[in-house]
Each structure stands twice: as C-alpha cells, then as structure tokens.
Chain A
Amino acid sequence: MQIIQTDLLCIGAGLAGERVAIEAAENGFSVICLSLVPARRSHSSAAQGGMQAALGNSAMGEGDSPDVHFADTVKGSDWGADQECARIFVDTAPIAMRQMAFWGVPWNRVVPGEQTYYKGGKPFTAYEKPENEGLIHSRSFGGTAKWRTCYTSDGTGHAVLYTLDNRAAQMGVQVHDKTEAIALIHDGETCMGAIVRDLKTGELRAYLSRATLIATGGYGRIYRESTNAVICDGGGMIAALDTGVVPFGNPEAIQFHPTGIVPTDILVTEGCRGDGGTLLDVNQYRFMPDYEPEKAELASRDVVSRRMTEHMRKGLGVKSPYGDHLWLDIRHLGEKHITTKLREVQEICESFLGVDPVHQLIPVRPTQHYSMGGVRTNKDGAAYGLKGLFSAGEAACWDMHGFNRLGGNSLAETIVAGMWVGGKVVEFLAGNDTTFNTAAVREAYEKQAARINALIKGSNGNENVYAVRNAMFDTIMKGAGIFRNGTDLTESVTKLQEILQRARKVGLRSNGLGANAELGLALKIEGMVKLAQCVCYAALQRTESRGAHTREDFPERNDRDWLNRTLATWVNASDDLPTLNYEPATTVFEIPPGERGYGGGKIIPMDNPPQATPAGKKA
C-alpha cells in the first residue's frame, strides 16, 4: 500500500477546494488536492453568470450593502438558511471579489456615462458615475433588490477558476488529478485522510492528513436530467455518509434551474433573463408577468421553475420528442449584446442545438441544477461528527442557502466560504496534531480492496450497474422532482429500497483493469442510491413547502413545525433507510420569518415568533 502524507487533503479542486488549499499553503502547510479531472475542468468552470457581492459600484447597484444582500439571501432561502453563515458570507464577499481581482480575474468594469440596459425585455438607460470608472461592475440576477452580480462576460466561473488555479500553482499546491477518494479513513471520532483510487492506473492508495476537506460539489447526477457535469455524482457526500456519523444536511433541498436546454440539459445562464430575456409559451406568449407581476422572469429560481411547470401542465408547453418545453427569447437584446455579453450562450445554442439565438428561440425547461444540501458543517466549515473533517462549497451544507439559493450566490460561496473555512482550517492545523491509527488505515484500505475484488469477480451478484442507475434515475424524478406529493414519494422510497438491494449485487461485465469507468461507477452506485433515498425519504417526511421543496399536498410553509434542517445519517451500512434528525434552521434571527415578496403561498407562523437580534448576537 502506497501512503502519501500531507497536512491538508482537499478532496476536490474546484473553486472551494482550491481556495481553502491556497489559504493553507500561504500559511506554510503542505496541501494536496485530489481531483477527478484536471483542476480547471472542475464544474466551477461551467458557471457562466457571476458572483454576488455588495460592492455597489454600478448605477443599478447604488445603495447596495451587505445588509441588503443579507436580506435577499435569507428571503431567497425561504428562511431555511443559518443566518450566522449568511451574515459571514455577505460581509466577506466584497473582500473576496477584490482579492480575486488582485490575483488576476478580468472582471468586467464600470464604463462611465449613459449605458443601455434591459429589464423585462425593455431597454432603459442608466448613468454610470464617472468616479466609479474602472471599478468592478455588476449585473442583475433573480431574487435580488440590487444589481450585485460581479461577472466576466459569461465565463465567470472559468475566469475565476483559471486565476485561482494559477495562484494555487504559484503557491505550490499539489493537484493529484484523475484520482478519486472512495472512502474516508476514520475511527469514528477523527478523520485521518482517504482511500483513493488512481484513475490513470486503477491503483489504490492511502492519503493521510491532519485535516481533510470535502469540496466535491453537488450530487446532481443522481438525476438523469441535470445541468451538472458528469463528475457531480456526490462522491464526497457518499464518503461522508458512509462513515455513519457525518450527517447529510437538507438532502431534499434540490434546486431546478429554469433554463436547461432541451434535449441535452446544458444550462444557459440566468444572465439571459437578468439582461432582459423573456420566457414564452407554445403561443409565443410571455406568461411570467401573469404569475409574478412584480418580478416576472426574475423571481427566484424555485418560483420561476414552478411557474414554468405549472404553465406546461396547463397544456401550454411546446411539444417535442424529448417532452414538453418552453421558449427562452433573447432576440431583442441584439446581436452585439449576445455576441459579447452572452457569448457562451450563443456558442452553446449553436453547437448543441443548431439554433442561433440572435434570430431564433431557445428550447428550455426546468432541469436539476443545484444541491443546497450536503455535508453538514458548523459555521467554521467543520463537519458534524468527525474531528479534522471540513467541507466547503456546494458539497457542504454550511448553510447560507437554506431551501433555495439565489443565482450568483453559489459561485460566490465557493471563494467566500473557501476564504473563511480556509482560515479556520489554518487555525486547526496550527493547533492540532493527529495520531494516525495504522490499524484504521489498513482496515479502510483492505475494505476497499475487497470491494473492488468482489465487483470484478461478481461475487455479490451480476446486476448491471447501468441498469441499476437507470432505475434510480426514474424513481427519484418521479418522487422528488419540482412538485412532490406523499403518494409518489412513498412509492419512490419503497422502490429505492429495492434498488438499493440491487445496487449491492452489482458485478462487472468488463475486466475492471486500469482506469475502468464501469468499476468507478460500480464503486459508487450503492452510495448514489443512498443519496437518492435520503432525498426522497427526507422530502416525504417534510410535510410543508419551503423554497425549492414543494409539496402539492402541503402547500403552506410551516414555520410552526418545520423551520428546521434535516440531518440524515446512514448509521449502519446495511440499513435500508437513513436515520433522520432535525435541528433549528438558525439560532440567530437578524430577520424573523416573514413573507418573501414573491412566489405567493400561505405561511403557518411559529407559535412564539422570535425577536430580531442584531448582527452576530445569539438569539
């Protein structure tokens, strides 16, 4: 067994993982990032739109402040967010953006004078102040009171990730790419690293670390139709759940993005609607203002996705061989705007649909997009349950997004939480030593080696891993799609129990040698089905509608009984169902629960509503 030792092991080398890694490296600690793909191919690179931070440089961002950003974020979360984390986030975000500018991100900047912008498809002019010339500009995103989203054309994630990986290379952060952590090494109390499969050779190695960070992004790929990259299959969450002690926070909180293209499910950015794009139905009628007179296409994502589905259910969707869809119209923005500010969108439409968005409509429908849930951590990013284990970014349930996150808040979270959690990891590394328990290391290694052996030999059975995955896809979408109800969820939970049995009997059809992808999936399928079951089971228990979690049979947001966070653990590996516990959504109420101002819906209030507490004070 090859053993590699380091101070910090980052599982994942996207924005969150690398930002934490840089913080540790700058403070003199050794860092290794593991990544399924070369770091710059991480899914962070696909984020087009931007990062929210209350810099307030632009004309339409005037008067913005972290407090306004905070209110937008908490409302967006439907009061599911931990308000302490949301506060840390909004206060740190402007600094993090400026730091990225310092490191080299080519943010779009304020151009002074009269500028033409679009809102609701109509042009208007705004006056950009000469004294703000050259400062970081911002664009509009859904669910925000101000234009707050910092951007680089529509390749923000790409530009920031390239700059951050440049910085990581400069700081000597090692990236071991084409590797996959398949299990954590732990003794039930302390995390000591991970067992890792090399995806170039198939070799198994042990990485020992004093601190371990899970930054593997979301688990969108437990859905068939997802905007996520194919690597976003929840690997880090699976490893954490597998420990039996680390909880999966709010698994049922899944966001659907209003504009995935049909049929390939590739995302076109919210920037399209932010810049004035509209949604049209089969009659090319703009329907969103009928549902949401105030915000129209720019209500929060959960609301827009729900309204679109509602409209299609009325038979007003466009029929296609791939199911019903609606149209996204950006033609009125003009060729110049589309070819500069929305260039990636144009490329996607032309390359994958053969559609020219300057002259044609884009077929779209709501598509799985973001996992608000993840490894539950405290506000320092330290995971519940295991000492020395941290998590940040989409993989974590930190939890500033609650039951719905705003566009531009997740990409910002990666570097803001990365900066913050990175600081806490540095404090931890400076103050803690670990004893590496060689028995635990050997045991973890041998367990994984035995699993691989059994899969290759087919000693557990001969289930086809792809067939099992397809069964999971069908089942989770039936129960835990955009609209949910008790009947479908009950059926999905029962079916997933059967599918879990099948996942445990998978055997390979190929020889499993080297960088074999069938083996990669087979090692993960049981964990993926468990994640899907956590989503469905938690969604079934949560008898209310909050943010992206919409129960047709319980349409009210129930603050009396459900202003809380689901904590799912898989106590024994052989269990059929997760164990669910709950904790209060937040212990601090800067803003007591109230109306979001969009989306409608009734609220069942708390029996004893809390008083607002000043920033940072415990309730």
Chain B
Amino acid sequence: MARMLKFNIFRYNPQDPTSVPHMQSFTIDETESMTLFIVLNRLREEQDPSLQFDFCCRAGICGACGMVVNGRPGLACHTKTKDLPEEVTLMPLPVFKLVGDLSVDTGTWFRGMYQRVKSWCETKKVFDPSAPEERMDNALAEKIYELDRCIECGCCVAACGTALMREDFLGATALNRVARFMLDPRDERTEQEYFDIVGTDEGIFGCMGLLACEDVCPKYLPLQDVLGRLRQRMAFAAVNNILPSFLRKEVKL
C-alpha cells in the first residue's frame, strides 16, 4: 500500500516584498524508487510552480542539491523516500546565503575559498608542450584523487559547529583541499606557506573535533583522518624549529 507523504518545506522568497519566512506543508503519494528529486519536481509541476530548489546532475555527482532533510544535511537527489518517515521536514543549508526556499548560494562561498587557500598547484615551472608528462606513482595519483573527490555540496560546512559560530572558519572542505595539495608534488608550496593558510584558528586549530563533517559527507571522504593528520602536521610545523632534532616529526597525510 503506497504511503501518503507529508513534506514541511521552508518557504521564503527574498525578492518578493510580500513573502515572509514560514513553513508550508505538501502531501504527495509515494511511488516506487522515489527520491527527493522526484518529489520536489512533482511538487513544483503539480502543486506550486513557485517552489525554489536546486538540482543539476541528479546523480550524486555535482553537489547542487544539498539541503537539510529531517535535521541532517545531505544530497536530495540520492535520498530515497523509502528511507524516510511519513513526515519529512526540508530546510535550506545554513551558513550559505539564501536564494529562496531550499536554494542557497554556494558558488560565492566556494569561489572565496579558492582564493583563501589558493586552491591550485603553485609552481614556478612553465608547461612545455613538447615534453612528456612528469611521472607520478599510480598509488600517489589515487591518493590525491581520494581527496579530490569532494563535490563542494557544502554539507560538511552546514553541519559544522565551528562554521555556524564563526563566519571565517575554513571548514572541512577547504582543509581537505589544502591536504590534497600538500600530497601533490606538483604543488611547490613550503610547509610555512601551508601553515600560513591553515595553521590558524580560522583553519585547522578552529576545528573542535565534532566531526559531523565526516558523518554527513555524501562522498564518504575520510575527513576525520585528514583533519586529524593535518592538525598533527601543523602542530609539528609550528614547533619543529624549536624542538631538538630527535623530537622533530614530519607527519604524513
């Protein structure tokens, strides 16, 4: 017997002077293999064409559809209704600026992040089109890709206690990005340069270790390990120059 599902959805259109933030309820009949992608599109087409939300790839690859589902940030496209109770509350991701209803502006936040952490390979080398590529060990390439799999959905930031309290916190996604470049021999930055970016309270030392980031990451990135090792490495980077040589340590990510 198909269930009737009740959705309580946050509604607010900042561009409409008559709109005030409120919750609105919708009911919809559940169908086989139903996901929130199917639910929200049906609600828009059949019940309320003004409903705002974001989807893009609808395949869990692009990260566009992050929202808070019954209190937990996640990707709407791969949330199956059969895993949800009959009543579901949908809220936009916090931290990011609201565009309207369930849609938020992650783009501005992330482009700011790229500049803060210099999210690229810093190198003095110049590309030589006639030369073969520089070699890399396949295991290292796979290790870099493991951290490069972040889809910038923003769920880790939305679930982060520190990010909710302080606007300037880099968040797990940015710390993971820096770790990705630390692994990459093509990036020629020194330990000091990395330290200047993440060895601060806005960076790794602001992390309170609550680790909701790892719990909610839809790509199952090993954020607990990455953040732990990054904190250790940055701690040693801070004191290595005053420690006697036998106590110095290089922490591998």
- A residues near B (Cβ < 8 Å) are 37-43, 45-46, 95, 97-99, 101-104, 106-111, 133-137, 152-153, 155, 158-159, 162, 165-167, 169-170, 175, 177-178, 199-202, 229-231, 263-264, 266-267, 321, 340, 344, 347-348, 351-354, 466, 508-511, 513-518
- Docked pose: A85 CA to B152 CA in angstroms: 35
**Chain B nearest CB, measured from A605 CB (Å):** 41
B191 within 8 A of A: no
Closest residue of chain B to A510, judged by CB?
B50
- What are 22 contact pairs spanning A and B, CB under 8 A? A37-B64, A43-B57, A45-B62, A97-B133, A98-B133, A99-B127, A104-B121, A104-B186, A134-B136, A159-B145, A166-B120, A264-B58, A266-B58, A348-B59, A351-B60, A352-B59, A352-B78, A511-B16, A513-B13, A514-B99, A516-B50, A518-B44
| Residues in chain B near residue A110, CB distance under 8 A | 138
Contacts known (A109-B141, A133-B135, A517-B44); A99 close to B61, Cβ less than 8 A: no
- B residues near A (Cβ < 8 Å) are 13-16, 32-33, 35, 44-45, 48-52, 54-64, 78, 80, 99-100, 103, 105-108, 110-111, 114-115, 118-121, 125, 127, 129, 131-138, 141-142, 144-145, 148-149, 151-152, 184, 186-187
- Docked pose: A353 CA to B78 CA in angstroms: 10
Contact B115 A38 (CB under 8 A): no
- Docked pose: A58 CA to B181 CA in angstroms: 27
Most B C-beta atoms less than 10 A away, residue of A152, A344, A352: A352
Contact A43 B56 (CB under 8 A): yes
Contact B33 A264 (CB under 8 A): yes
Contact A175 B138 (CB under 8 A): no
Not counting A102-B134, A466-B45, a sample of 17 additional A-B residue pairs whose C-beta atoms are within 8 angstroms of each other reads: A37-B54, A38-B107, A99-B127, A101-B134, A102-B133, A104-B184, A106-B148, A108-B138, A155-B149, A162-B148, A177-B108, A202-B15, A264-B33, A321-B32, A516-B52, A517-B51, A518-B50
**Chain B nearest CB, measured from A205 CB (Å):** 15
- Docked pose: A199 CA to B132 CA in angstroms: 43
**Chain B nearest CB, measured from A60 CB (Å):** 16
Contact B111 A513 (CB under 8 A): no
Contact A102 B127 (CB under 8 A): yes
Contact A134 B138 (CB under 8 A): yes
Contact B49 A158 (CB under 8 A): no
Contact B107 A175 (CB under 8 A): yes
| Residues in chain B near residue A101, CB distance under 8 A | 133-134, 136
Contacts known (A169-B115, A264-B33, A517-B44); A134 close to B14, Cβ less than 8 A: no
Contact A354 B80 (CB under 8 A): yes
- Docked pose: A201 CA to B136 CA in angstroms: 46
**Chain A nearest CB, measured from B189 CB (Å):** 13
- Docked pose: A421 CA to B49 CA in angstroms: 40
| Residues in chain B near residue A340, CB distance under 8 A | 142
| Residues in chain B near residue A111, CB distance under 8 A | 138
- Docked pose: A348 CA to B16 CA in angstroms: 38
- Ranked nearest first, the 8 interchain pairs of A and B with the lowest CB-CB distance are A514-B15, A134-B135, A38-B107, A510-B50, A177-B107, A351-B78, A518-B49, A166-B120
Closest residue of chain A to B48, judged by CB?
A510
Contact B133 A41 (CB under 8 A): no
Closest residue of chain A to B55, judged by CB?
A230
| Residues in chain A near residue B120, CB distance under 8 A | 103-104, 166-167, 169-170
Closest residue of chain A to B106, judged by CB?
A38
**Chain B nearest CB, measured from A144 CB (Å):** 21
**Chain B nearest CB, measured from A539 CB (Å):** 27
**Chain B nearest CB, measured from A126 CB (Å):** 15
- Docked pose: A39 CA to B151 CA in angstroms: 11
| Residues in chain A near residue B115, CB distance under 8 A | 169
| Residues in chain B near residue A43, CB distance under 8 A | 56-57, 62
| Residues in chain B near residue A165, CB distance under 8 A | 114
Contacts known (A158-B149, A169-B119); A178 close to B52, Cβ less than 8 A: no
- Docked pose: A515 CA to B110 CA in angstroms: 20
Of A42, A153, A352, which one neighbours B142 at CB under 8 angstroms? A153
Of B57, B99, B184, which one neighbours A178 at CB under 8 angstroms? B99
Contact B186 A109 (CB under 8 A): no
**Chain B nearest CB, measured from A473 CB (Å):** 12
**Chain A nearest CB, measured from B236 CB (Å):** 26
Contacts known (A352-B78, A353-B33); A136 close to B133, Cβ less than 8 A: yes
- Docked pose: A38 CA to B65 CA in angstroms: 12
Contact B33 A263 (CB under 8 A): yes
Contact B50 A511 (CB under 8 A): yes
| Residues in chain B near residue A153, CB distance under 8 A | 142, 145
Of B15, B103, B152, which one neighbours A40 at CB under 8 angstroms? B152
Of A108, A347, A354, which one neighbours B141 at CB under 8 angstroms? A108
Closest residue of chain B to A167, judged by CB?
B120
Most A C-beta atoms less than 10 A away, residue of B50, B57, B63, B186: B57
| Residues in chain B near residue A39, CB distance under 8 A | 107
| Residues in chain B near residue A514, CB distance under 8 A | 13-16, 52, 99-100
Contact B60 A510 (CB under 8 A): no
**Chain B nearest CB, measured from A154 CB (Å):** 10
Contact A37 B56 (CB under 8 A): yes
Closest residue of chain B to A343, judged by CB?
B149
Closest residue of chain A to B38, judged by CB?
A264
Contact A517 B135 (CB under 8 A): no
Most A C-beta atoms less than 10 A away, residue of B118, B141, B186: B141
Contact A348 B60 (CB under 8 A): yes
- Docked pose: A560 CA to B60 CA in angstroms: 47
- Docked pose: A38 CA to B145 CA in angstroms: 21
Contact B141 A166 (CB under 8 A): no
| Residues in chain B near residue A95, CB distance under 8 A | 129
- Docked pose: A276 CA to B50 CA in angstroms: 47
Contact B64 A41 (CB under 8 A): yes
| Residues in chain A near residue B129, CB distance under 8 A | 95, 98-99
**Chain A nearest CB, measured from B152 CB (Å):** 6
- Docked pose: A95 CA to B128 CA in angstroms: 9
- Docked pose: A106 CA to B146 CA in angstroms: 10
Closest residue of chain A to B125, judged by CB?
A102
- Docked pose: A105 CA to B234 CA in angstroms: 26
Contact B48 A135 (CB under 8 A): no
Of A170, A178, A264, which one neighbours B107 at CB under 8 angstroms? A178
**Chain B nearest CB, measured from A411 CB (Å):** 14
Most B C-beta atoms less than 10 A away, residue of A104, A136, A266, A516: A104
- Docked pose: A518 CA to B35 CA in angstroms: 21
| Residues in chain A near residue B145, CB distance under 8 A | 106, 152-153, 155, 159
- Docked pose: A137 CA to B118 CA in angstroms: 29
- Docked pose: A289 CA to B109 CA in angstroms: 51
Closest residue of chain A to B98, judged by CB?
A200
Contacts known (A41-B64, A99-B127, A153-B142); A513 close to B15, Cβ less than 8 A: yes
**Chain B nearest CB, measured from A50 CB (Å):** 13
Contact B57 A229 (CB under 8 A): yes
Closest residue of chain B to A97, judged by CB?
B133
Contact B138 A109 (CB under 8 A): yes
**Chain A nearest CB, measured from B46 CB (Å):** 8
Closest residue of chain B to A230, judged by CB?
B55
Contact B135 A109 (CB under 8 A): yes
Contact B133 A137 (CB under 8 A): no
| Residues in chain A near residue B121, CB distance under 8 A | 103-104, 166
- Docked pose: A42 CA to B56 CA in angstroms: 8
Contacts known (A102-B127, A107-B141); A510 close to B56, Cβ less than 8 A: no
Closest residue of chain A to B145, judged by CB?
A106
Contacts known (A104-B120, A509-B49); A98 close to B58, Cβ less than 8 A: no
Closest residue of chain B to A137, judged by CB?
B138
Contact A169 B138 (CB under 8 A): no
- Docked pose: A40 CA to B49 CA in angstroms: 27
Contacts known (A95-B129, A135-B132, A169-B120); A46 close to B57, Cβ less than 8 A: yes
